[in-house]
Amino acid sequence: MHSVDYALLNRQLEALLDTRDWLTNSAQTCAFIQHALYDINWVGFYLQRQLNQLCLGPFQGKPACHPIPFNKGVCGAAARQQATQRVDDVHTIADHIACDTDSRSELVAPIVIDGHLWGVLDLDSPQHARFSQEDQNGIETLVATFIRQTDLPHLIDQ
Ligand code: SME
């Protein structure tokens, strides 16, 4: 079993994010995670650019589903509840949106600014139960670093 030093990854991400630009930092963050973790087949951002809808943002992996309404899928649940979703087997989730049939487990962390859902970071794995509580804590720490070191503009079309 591989182990991941999330404290080290967090220091590396802090150094990598040397702009405050949201587009640059979100692209860098998902590329960094894709290369730092094992058994990940997709990692990327979905952004709330229209009310209650997630729009595909920077990602690593195969072309993905777009758009995702808040009332659908694991990403929608994370957006609606503003809470991390950790799913051991996506086949057990009735409204799971299968972008890639290889995906088996999933972790989705919300990005919340002043109570407002800015977007989510979604990670997929072909392995059953790839994400542990430790992975969840580690990814939430990386997301907190992304939020702290980035100017996140209001993206919703008026
Ligand atoms: N599986 C996700 C959709 C996004 S993709 O996995 C990239 C979901 O059910 O929300």
pLDDT in tens, 122-131: 999 999 999 9
Taking the centre of ligand 1 as the mean of its atom positions, its distance from the CA of residue 100, in whole angstroms, is 8
Overall number of domains in the chain: 1
Among 139, 44, 130, CA closest to 87: 130
Is 153 a member of any domain? Answer: no
What's the pTM? Answer: 0.96
Is 154 a member of any domain? Answer: no
For the cut 90, the answer to whether the pLDDT of residue 148 exceeds it is: yes
Percent over 70 (pLDDT), the chain: 97
Q: Which of 101, 124, 130 to mutate to test the pocket of ligand 1 (most atoms within 8 A of CB)?
A: 124
Taking the centre of ligand 1 as the mean of its atom positions, its distance from the CA of residue 97, in whole angstroms, is 5
Range of the domain at 100: 6-148
| Backbone φ, ψ for residue 31 (5° rounding) | -65, -40
Is 157 a member of any domain? Answer: no
Residues 52-69 have pLDDT tens digits of: 999 999 999 999 999 999
pLDDT band at 1 (very low <50, low <70, confident <90, very high): low
pLDDT of residue 156: 84
pLDDT of residue 99: 87
**Closest ligand 1 atom, residue 78 Cα:** 10
Taking the centre of ligand 1 as the mean of its atom positions, its distance from the CA of residue 156, in whole angstroms, is 21
| Backbone φ, ψ for residue 81 (5° rounding) | -90, -10
Is 156 a member of any domain? Answer: no
Taking the centre of ligand 1 as the mean of its atom positions, its distance from the CA of residue 74, in whole angstroms, is 6
Is 56 a member of any domain? Answer: yes
Count of alpha carbons within 13 angstroms of residue 8, beta-carbon side = 5
Q: Which of 62, 74, 85, 93 to mutate to test the pocket of ligand 1 (most atoms within 8 A of CB)?
A: 74
Is 10 a member of any domain? Answer: yes
Which residues does ligand 1 sit against, CB inside 6 Å?
A: 42, 64-65, 68, 73-76, 96-97, 99, 103, 106, 122, 124
Is 155 a member of any domain? Answer: no
**CATH number, domain at 102?**
3.30.450.40
Cβ-contact 33, 40 below 8 angstroms: yes
Is 48 a member of any domain? Answer: yes
For the cut 60, the answer to whether the pLDDT of residue 104 exceeds it is: yes
Cβ-contact 41, 103 below 8 angstroms: yes
Q: Give the span between the Cα atoms of 116 and 125, in whole angstroms.
A: 28
